[in-house]
Amino acid sequence: MIPPQYPENEFERQIAVEKYQLLDTLPEESFDNITALMALVCEAPISLVSLLDRERNFLKSHHGIPFNESPREISFCGHAINSDDQIMIVEDARKDERFHDNPLVSEHQAVFYAGAPLVDPDGYRLGTLCVYDTKPRTLTSQQQEALIAMAQQVIRLFEAHYKNLKLEKLQKTLEQRNDNLEKFAGVVSHDLKSPLAQITALTQLIEQDNQANLDEETRQYLEYIKESSDTLRDYIDGVLRFYKTDEALKQAHSWEKSEAYFKDLLGLFRADESVHFELDVVPSKLHMNKAALTQIFVNLIANAIKHNDKEQAVITIRCRELEKAYRFEVSDNGPGIPEESQEAVFELFTALQSTDKFGRTSTGIGLATVKKVIDSLKGSIQLESENGNGTTFRFELPM
């Protein structure tokens, strides 16, 4: 027996093998289907997908044998990866000096072997797709072509597996960053609110204690301080709400009576007499994440009120039940949104107007929060608007 030699690029080749993170993994149907097919096409009892590790031959798929690895020093595949040919064929291993006293031949009757190297995009030979038989024979040209073609398909599966690994790693990284960002937003918001509250309180105290001594210019400066404090508070609250949406998303779906739900929702805005609500809700009950849906509606309604340019704001809420989802609409009679600005309204910190009708600075956080919640619920949202004729936000959420 002649043990297979290690390739000159063995160090780099081993890195390439380990990159795919397939060593010591469980069987997978996609690979098992290929070995079963090649056993059928080549009329062979054994078919394998092998990966040459440092000291062993790991079998990612092993059709026809019960074990999933063997020593590399007795491996036929170790010889196959050293060949420049597209396929290595051993018609009768008993007559080949490399294998005649190999335990695979003497103990397991591995007489015939045909293996196509698994060559990655960088040219490294990672292992083989191979077939064995217990009798001397060969492969037809069609069978050889099939083995070579399916070896390329195995590499495509390796690449798909590797890309999935990278995507999973990227997803975990993004999730960790989002968690860190949420924690950071919470800490910063808390740390900023305390001094901000003190600034507001001190400003009010100065006004109260010096009513008779303040000139008009000083009063104006104090008013600027209060307005700036209110703006900063709104930003802090908005950022905190944006990064706390996950808490609402964790709540389970529940059945809610539509009439009671929307009565409670609109009750949040009852104090504003300049707003008139119209309801057009068909389903008598809704199966929903109540906290998340409320967060969506509160932001959409508040946005419609703050930017309405009419003496009487009219906001219409509609709900329809589809086959597997609910469709909601929030329409207003406001100024509308210019077509060139409609794609940007859901971007964080994007405000189409610097201030709302109450004179408060727009934060550009509310609609971004709406989009984030709806996306997390696997829903969709779109808007229809005509300059001067109001806006309709239409969103669908799965039941």
Residues 260-305: pLDDT tens digits?
889 888 887 877 778 899 999 888 999 888 888 888 898 899 888 8
- pTM given for the model: 0.55
| Rg of the chain taking only CA atoms, in angstroms | 35
SS3 260: helix
Same domain, 272 and 371: yes
Tens digits of residue pLDDT in 159-177: 999 999 999 998 888 878 7
pLDDT attached to residue 249: 67
CA angle, residues 142, 147, 153, in degrees to nearest 5: 125
Residues 258 and 145 placed together within one structural domain of the fold:
no
Residue 195 lies in a domain: no
Task: Answer yes or no: is 223 within a domain.
Answer: no
**Residue 137 pLDDT more than 70?**
yes
Domain of 65 in residue numbering reads as 10-163
My answer on whether 157 and 286 are in the same domain is no
**What average pLDDT does the segment 382-397 reach?**
89
Residues 256 and 373 in one domain: yes
Both 278 and 154 in one domain: the answer is no
Whole-number pLDDT of residue 312: 87
Strands (E), the chain: 46-52, 56-63, 69-71, 88-90, 112-119, 125-133, 254-257, 275-281, 285-288, 313-321, 325-332, 380-385, 391-398
Residue that wins the pLDDT comparison between 221 and 49: 49
Instruction: Let me know if residue 205 belongs to a domain.
Output: no
What's the mean pLDDT when you consider all of the chain?
86
Q: Is the pLDDT of residue 329 over 90?
A: yes
pLDDT per position as a tens digit, 85-113: 999 999 999 999 999 999 999 888 999 99
Domain assignment present for residue 242? The answer is no
Whether the pLDDT of residue 318 is over 70: the answer is: yes
Q: Would you say residue 104 lies in a domain?
A: yes
pLDDT at 53: 96
- Does 230 reside within a domain? no
389 within some domain: yes
Please report whether residue 61 resides in a domain: yes
Domain boundary among 163, 184, 212: 163
**135: exposed, middle or buried (Cβ count in 10 Å: 0-12, 13-18, 19+):** exposed
Predicted confidence at residue 132, as pLDDT, reads 97
> Which of residues 145, 163, 181 is at a domain's end?
163
Residues 6+ apart with CB under 8 A from 29: none
Q: Say what the pLDDT of residue 187 is.
A: 60
Residue 231, pLDDT > 70, answer no
Q: Is the pLDDT of residue 388 over 90?
A: no
Q: Are residues 254 and 385 in the same domain?
A: yes
- pLDDT attached to residue 190: 58
Domain's final residue, options 137, 163, 189: 163
Mention every residue, 6+ apart, whose C-beta is less than 8 A from residue 56: 69, 70, 71, 72
Residue 293 sits in the same domain as residue 388: yes
pLDDT reported for residue 88? 96
Q: Which pLDDT band holds residue 43 (cuts at 50, 70, 90)?
A: very high
Judge whether residue 38 has pLDDT over 90. yes
Number of H helices and E strands in the chain, helices first, is: 10, 13
State the DSSP code for 311: S
Q: Can you tell me the mean pLDDT for 216-223?
A: 78
d(CA 98, CA 95): 9
In the chain, % of residues over pLDDT 90: 50
Tally of structural domains, the chain: 2
CATH number at residue 288: 3.30.565.10
Six-digit token string for 301: 């309604």
Residues 260 and 381 in one domain: yes
Question: Domain with 52 in it: what CATH number?
Answer: 3.30.450.40
pLDDT computed for residue 234 by the predictor? 63
